[in-house]
Amino acid sequence: MQVSYHGHSVVQISTQNKKIIIDPFINGNELTDLNVKDLEVDVIILTHGHNDHVGDTVEIAKKNNALVIAPYELAVYIGKNNITIHPMNIGGAYQFDFGTVKLTQAFHGSSYEEKDGTVIYTGMPSGVLLTSEGNTIYHAGDTALFSDMKMIGERNSIDVAFLPIGDNLTMGPEDAVDAADWLKAKKVVPIHYNTFPAIKQNPNEFTKMLPNGVGIPLKIGESLEL
C-alpha cells in the first residue's frame, strides 16, 4: 500500500486493486501537484462539506465513475449530481471491497457554499479510519484536539495519522503533538497548513516535537510505502 500527500488535506491511497483520494481540493489549491483531468481514482472519501475539502469531487467522480463515501447529509447532497454515493455516519463502519471505512467524530463545522452564495448544511464533520491490507490509516479531517483521540488510539493500531496543524481553523502544532501522543500512531504526517495566510505553519518544526522517527513532513507529491 502507498499513501501520498498532495497539499492542504488531499491524501491519496493506492491499494493493490483500488485508488482512493480523500478531500480532493485541487482547483484553487496552489499547493497541489494534481490535475483533475489527469486524475484516476476509484473511490473518493470526504471528511466534511467545506469547499476546500469537497473540492472537485463531482467532476472527479463523474470522470472516473468513482464511488463517493461521505457523512450522510453531505453524501446525499453530492448524490444529486447523479454520482454513486455511500452515506455513512459517525461511529459507523462498512466493509468495502478495498477495506473497512469507519467515521470518527471531529470538532469543526460542515457546510458547502454554492456559486451563488447559498450555504448548504452538510451534516456533522468527521475523521476517517481506513483499514486495508493489514494497515490502518487515520485522516483526522478538520478538527480541534479532543480527548476521545485517546480512545481511538487505544482501540486501533494506527500505522499513519494525517493530522491538521494549521491552527486558527483547526488544532495547531502544540495540540497536534498531544493528538499524536494519544493516537499512538507509528507515523504522523502534518496536513492542512500553508494553503492560506491564516494557517501558515512550519511542518518541520512540528515533526521535531514528536518522538524520533514518528513525524514525517511529506513534501507535495511524496509518498510512504506501508
Give 70-117 pLDDT, tens digit per residue: 999 999 999 999 999 999 999 999 999 999 999 999 999 999 999 999
Going from the C-alpha of 133 to that of each of 73, 186, 207, the distances in angstroms are 29, 16, 27
Beta carbons within 8 Å of 33's beta carbon, 6+ residues apart: 6, 7, 220, 221
Instruction: Establish if 115 belongs to a structural domain.
Output: yes
- Alpha helical stretches, state H, the chain: 51-54, 57-64, 72-79, 149-155, 173-183, 203-208
Domain range enclosing 165: 2-218
Q: What is the domain count for the chain? A: 1
Give 171-220 pLDDT, tens digit per residue: 999 999 999 999 999 999 999 999 999 999 999 999 999 999 999 999 99
Domain at 49, CATH number:
3.60.15.10
